[in-house]
Chain A
Amino acid sequence: MGERLDDAPLVAEPASAGGRAKGPSRPSRAINRYFHGRRKLGVATLLGLPLSWMLVVYIGSLALLVVSALYRLHPRTQKPTHDLTTDNLLAAFKFWDSDVWDGVVFPFLRTAGVALLVTAICAAIALPVAFFVAKIAWKWSRRGLIVAMLLPLWAGYLVKGYAWRAMVSPAGGRFAAAGKGGGGFLESTIHWTPGFGRVAIVLAEVYLWLPYMIMPIYAGLDRLPPSLLDAAGDLGARPFRTFRSVILPMLKPSVAAGAIFTFSLTLGDYIVPKIVNNGTERFMFGSSIDAVLGAPNQPLAAAFTLWPLVIIILFLLSMKRAGAFESL
Chain B
Amino acid sequence: MTPDAPTTPAIQLVGLRKSFGAGEHEVVAVDSVDLTIDNGEFFSLLGPSGSGKTTVLRMIAGFETPTAGAILLEGQDVTRKPPYERDVNTVFQDYALFPHLTVHQNVEYGLKVKRVPKGERRQRAGEALEAVRLSALGHRKPSQLSGGQRQRVALARALVNRPKVLLLDEPLGALDLKLREEMQVELKAIQREVGITFVFVTHDQGEALSMSNRIAVFNHGRIEQVGTPHQIYDHPETSFVAGFVGTSNVLSAELSFQLMGVAKVHSVRPERLRIVREVASDSEVTVSGLVTDLQYLGADSRIRVAIPDGSHLLANVPSDGLVGVAIGEPLRVAWSRYAAFVVADTNTEGGEE
On A, residues with C-beta under 8 Å from B are: 225, 227-228, 230-238, 241, 245-246, 249-250
Contact = CB atoms under 8 A, between A and B. Distances in A.
Interface in B65-108: 82-84, 88-90, 92-94, 96-100
Nearest to B109: A235
Contacts of B63: 230, 233-234
A319 B109 CA distance: 28
Interface of B: 61-63, 82-84, 88-90, 92-94, 96-100, 109-110, 113-114, 157-158, 161
A227 B92 contact: yes
Contacts of B109: 232, 235, 237, 245
Contacts of B62: 233-234
Contact of A225 (B61, B88, B94, B110): B94
Given A225-B94, A227-B92, A250 B61 contact: no
A227 to B, nearest CB: 4
19 contacts: A225-B96, A227-B96, A228-B96, A228-B98, A230-B63, A230-B83, A230-B90, A231-B90, A231-B92, A231-B97, A233-B83, A234-B61, A234-B83, A234-B88, A234-B158, A235-B89, A236-B84, A237-B109, A250-B99
Nearest to B93: A227
A264 B90 CA distance: 44
Contacts of B94: 225, 227
Contact of A235 (B82, B93, B99, B157): B157
Given A234-B62, A236-B84, 17 more contacts: A225-B96, A227-B92, A230-B63, A230-B83, A230-B92, A230-B96, A231-B90, A231-B92, A231-B98, A234-B83, A234-B158, A235-B113, A235-B157, A236-B161, A237-B84, A245-B113, A250-B98
B89 A234 contact: yes
Nearest to B83: A233
B82 A233 contact: yes
Nearest to A238: B84
B277 to A, nearest CB: 57
A246 B161 contact: no
A230 B84 CA distance: 10
A241 B99 CA distance: 17
A233 B84 CA distance: 5
A112 B158 CA distance: 47
Given A230-B83, A231-B90, A236 B96 contact: no
Contacts of A235: 84, 89, 109-110, 113, 157-158, 161
Q: Count chain B CB atoms within 10 A of each CB in A225, A230, A246, A250 and give the residue with the most.
A: A230
A-B complex: 9 closest residue pairs judged by Cβ atoms: A235-B110, A227-B96, A231-B96, A233-B83, A236-B113, A249-B100, A234-B90, A237-B113, A236-B84
Nearest to B92: A227
A241 B82 CA distance: 14
Q: Count chain A CB atoms within 10 A of each CB in B82, B99, B113, B157 and give the residue with the most.
A: B113
A268 to B, nearest CB: 33
A235 B162 CA distance: 11
Contacts of B161: 235-236
